[in-house]
């Protein structure tokens, strides 16, 4: 793979340092329960990393999507995007109706008709693709176009759309935003080996650069 976006040791270390606040307390985060960070940007891009920390579904603990919290920070900095990221223990919830916490309130407040929510997640390396773009239950022509353009932009990484993660379950941020707010949304699931600046600095730096370039044209 050509070295289009190299990341030096210092940048890799800086990225890893950003992850510390999420890694704190065994990945329950350094903040108080339900705490989030909102990093304000001036574009229509809203980046979320709802699984920056451990969380629960159907009573079972789901491990944090490592480095997605710091990833959202990096996209905020590079793209002037707004970012919403949990920084303290995420409460248990099953339905958005029951979810009465700062994360949901931030989504409600920040999702306008001109907002594109980019919901970042981490998947394991065993799915056979590097990235899976999930269009959610109610994609628009714009989000479908974005997905196809991103897939091209991210080449030579293996990018799939909707398989294995389509973001259609009701509990996803993408489903919530598409069906309960005026904003548009897309989910990005990244394999572990493209989002770890310590174990995979070269691939992670390169992928980050390509993703930034791919999202740049969708800032409004
Ligand atoms: Zn996730």
Distance from the alpha carbon of residue 27 to the mean position of ligand 1, in angstroms: 14
Give the C-alpha separation, 67 to 18, whole Å: 9
pLDDT of residue 163 exceeding 90, the answer is yes
Distance from the alpha carbon of residue 63 to the mean position of ligand 1, in angstroms: 9
Decide if 166 contacts 179 (C-beta within 8 A).
no
- pLDDT at residue number 20: 98
Q: List pLDDT tens digits, range 82-117.
A: 999 999 999 999 999 999 999 999 999 999 999 999
Within a domain: 180: yes
Decide if 122 contacts 192 (C-beta within 8 A).
yes
Within a domain: 1: no
- pLDDT at residue number 218: 74
- pLDDT at residue number 140: 95
Report CA-CA distances (Å) from 150 to 138, 147, 155, 157, 216: 19, 5, 9, 11, 10
Distance from the alpha carbon of residue 51 to the mean position of ligand 1, in angstroms: 5
Within a domain: 47: yes
* Higher local confidence (pLDDT), 11 or 6: 11
Distance from the alpha carbon of residue 173 to the mean position of ligand 1, in angstroms: 10
Please, which pLDDT band fits residue 25 given cuts at 50, 70 and 90? very high
* Higher local confidence (pLDDT), 211 or 3: 211
Provide DSSP, 168-214.
Answer: -STTSHHHHHHHHSS-EEEEEEEEGGGS-TTT-HHHHHHHHHHHHHH
- pLDDT at residue number 85: 99
Number of domains within the chain: 1
Provide DSSP, 121-140.
Answer: EEE-GGGS-SEEEE--SS--
Distance from the alpha carbon of residue 140 to the mean position of ligand 1, in angstroms: 22
Residue with token string 């628009």: 140
Burial class (CB in 10 A: 0-12, 13-18, 19+), 101: middle
pLDDT of residue 50 exceeding 60, the answer is yes
Distance from the alpha carbon of residue 98 to the mean position of ligand 1, in angstroms: 19
Distance from the alpha carbon of residue 107 to the mean position of ligand 1, in angstroms: 17
- pLDDT at residue number 220: 62
- pLDDT at residue number 3: 60
Handedness of CA 40, 112, 174, 98 (dihedral sign): positive
Q: List pLDDT tens digits, range 32-47.
A: 999 999 999 999 999 9
pLDDT of residue 2 exceeding 80, the answer is no
Q: List pLDDT tens digits, range 165-205.
A: 999 999 999 999 999 999 999 999 999 999 999 999 999 99
Q: List pLDDT tens digits, range 108-159.
A: 999 999 999 999 999 999 999 999 999 999 999 999 999 999 999 999 999 9
Question: Whole domain around residue 105: which residue ranges?
Answer: 9-215
Q: What CATH number has the domain bearing residue 32?
A: 3.40.630
pLDDT of residue 1 exceeding 80, the answer is no
Within a domain: 4: no
């Amino acid at each position: 793979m050509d070295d289009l976006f190299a990341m030096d040791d210092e940048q890799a270390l800086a990225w890893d340092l950003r992850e510390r606040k999420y890694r704190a307390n065994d990945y329950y985060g350094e903040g108080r329960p339900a705490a989030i960070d909102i990093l304000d940007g001036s574009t229509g891009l809203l980046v979320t990393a709802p699984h920056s920390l451990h969380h629960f579904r159907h009573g079972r603990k789901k491990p944090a999507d490592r480095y997605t919290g710091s990833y959202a920070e990096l996209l905020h900095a590079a793209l002037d995007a707004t970012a919403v990221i949990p920084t303290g223990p995420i409460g248990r919830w099953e339905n958005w109706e029951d979810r009465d916490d700062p994360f949901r309130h931030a989504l409600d407040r920040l999702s306008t008709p001109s907002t594109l929510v980019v919901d970042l997640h981490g998947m394991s390396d065993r799915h056979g693709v590097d990235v899976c773009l999930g269009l959610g239950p109610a994609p628009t022509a714009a989000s479908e176009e974005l997905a196809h353009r991103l897939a091209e932009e991210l080449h030579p990484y293996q990018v799939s759309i909707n398989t294995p993660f389509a973001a259609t379950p009701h509990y996803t941020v993408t489903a919530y935003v598409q069906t309960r707010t005026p904003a548009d949304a897309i989910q990005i699931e990244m394999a572990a080996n493209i989002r770890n600046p310590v174990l995979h600095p070269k691939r992670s730096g390169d992928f980050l650069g390509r993703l930034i370039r791919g999202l740049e044209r969708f800032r409004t």
